[in-house]
Structure 1
Amino acid sequence: MDIELKLMSTPEEIDTLCRLAKEAWKQAYSELLGYEQINYMVEKFLSPQAVVQQMKEQNYVYYIIYGDNRPGGFMGFAPNYEGRKELFLSKLYLLPNMKGTGAAHAAFELAEREAGRLGLSRIRLTVNKGNTHAKEVYEHWGFETVESAVTDIGGGFVMDDYIMVKTLA
C-alpha cells in the first residue's frame, strides 16, 4: 500500500479528520469507554472547532494519513506543549484497513523528524491504560512508561492514561 502523510490545511481536510476521528474512536474505545464518553471526547477534542482552536492556540499540527490515496488515519502533535521541551504526540489513529501497512511506521518517523528539526530530544504521549495493543505498539517504537495520570475532562468523565516518553538519539 502506498502511504502518504499530508499536512492538513483546508476546512475540507478538517472535516475529513473529524469524520476519521469518530470512526477510529468508536472502533478503538467502544469496549473501554462506551459510546457516551466517546461522543463527549470526540466533540471536546476532535470537532472542527476543537481542532481549529488547538491549531491556533496550542501550536498543534495535524496530518491525514492516506493509503492508496484514501484517508485512513490521522496524527496530531504539538511542539513545546505546555512549555515542555518535547514534542507531544497527542493523536495517532488508524482505521483497521491501515494497520499493518507501514502507516504507523511513517507516522512515527515523521514525528521523530519534526522533533529533531525543532531541536526537541523527546516525544511524549498518553495512552489509555486499557488500550494494551496501542501501549505495545508504542513500546515497540521505543516509548517507555514514565507515569500514570487520571485527568478530569468534564462531563463526569476522566481519562485514565499512562504517560509514555521516547528519548531521541
Structure 2
Amino acid sequence: MTISVVSKNQLSIIRDLAYQIWPNAYGEILSNEQLEYMLNLIYSIDSLEKQIDNGHTFLLVEDGNQYVGFASYELNYENSNKAKIQKLYVLPQIQGKGIGKKLIDFIKEIAVENKNLSLVLNVNRFNKAKDFYEKYGFEITKEVKIDIGNDYIMDDYVMEFQLK
C-alpha cells in the first residue's frame, strides 16, 4: 500500500472514487438529490482544482494496482496552528483494514513536522465514521450546521485530536 500526493492531472481519480464511495457513506443520511448536488459541488474537476489552489493537499492510496481511498488536508487551517482533515474516504469493500488509520497517521506526521498542535475535522452527525474517529482518539468539540446552498444543510460534529 502506498500513499502519494495527488497532482492536478490525477483529480479525475479523486472524483471517480468519491462517486463510488459517497453513496455508501451517505446513502442512508442524505437524499439522492442532496448527494448528487454535493458530489457535483465538491468533486467537479474545477472545484477540486480550486481546493488545491486554496491550500488543500490531496492524497491517494494505492493498493496493488488499484486506487482504494483518498484524503485531503490543510495545514494551519484558518491561520490557526491546527491541521484540518478536509476529506478521508476509503472504498467500502476495503474499510476495516487500517487504511483510514494510515491516512490519519500520514497527515499527523506532516502536521507535527509543520508545528501544528492538533488535527480537526468535520463529520456528519449521523455518519458511522464518527465512531472510527472516536476510536482513533478524536473528541467532539462542537456541533455545526453549514448552509451549502440549494436549501441543504450539513449537520456536523467538529472533532479534534491533540498532537503530542
- The TM-score range, normalised by the shorter chain, is over 0.9
The answer (yes or no) to whether the contact 1:8–1:62 under 8 Å persists in 2 is yes
Indicate which of 87, 97, 100 corresponds to 1:101: 97
The answer (yes or no) to whether the contact 2:75–2:84 under 8 Å persists in 1 is: yes
Q: Residue 54 in 1 paired to residue 51 in 2? A: yes
Distance 1:96 1:103 in 2: 11
Q: Given residue 35 of structure 1, which amino acid in structure 2 is its aligned partner?
A: N
Distance 1:61 1:99 in 2: 22
Question: Normalising by the residue count of structure 1, what TM-score does the alignment of the two structures yield?
Answer: 0.93
In structure 2, the partner of 1:84 is 80
Residue 26 of structure 1 corresponds to: 23
The runs of 5 or more residues in structure 1 that have no matched partner are none
AA paired with 1:31? E
TM-score by length of 2: 0.96
8 Å contact 2:124–2:154 — kept in the other structure?
A: yes
Q: Which residue number in structure 2 is paired with residue 165 of structure 1?
A: 160
For residue 69 of structure 1, report the CA deviation from its aligned partner.
Answer: 2.5
Q: 1:30 Cα deviation (Å)?
A: 1.1
Amino acid corresponding to residue 8 of structure 1 in structure 2: V
Give the count of matched residue pairs: 164
The alignment yields a C-alpha RMSD, in angstroms, of 1.0
How far off is 1:50 after superposition? 0.8
Distance 1:6 1:135 in 2: 25
The 8 Å contact of residues 18 and 48 in structure 1, kept in 2 or not, is answered as: yes
Q: How much does 1:31 deviate? A: 1.2
2:66 counterpart residue number: 70
Aligned-residue sequence identity (percent) comes to: 29
Q: Is the 8 A contact 1:149 1:160 kept in 2?
A: yes
Q: Gaps (5+ residues) in structure 2?
A: none
CA distance in 1: counterparts of 2:123 and 2:12, whole angstroms: 24
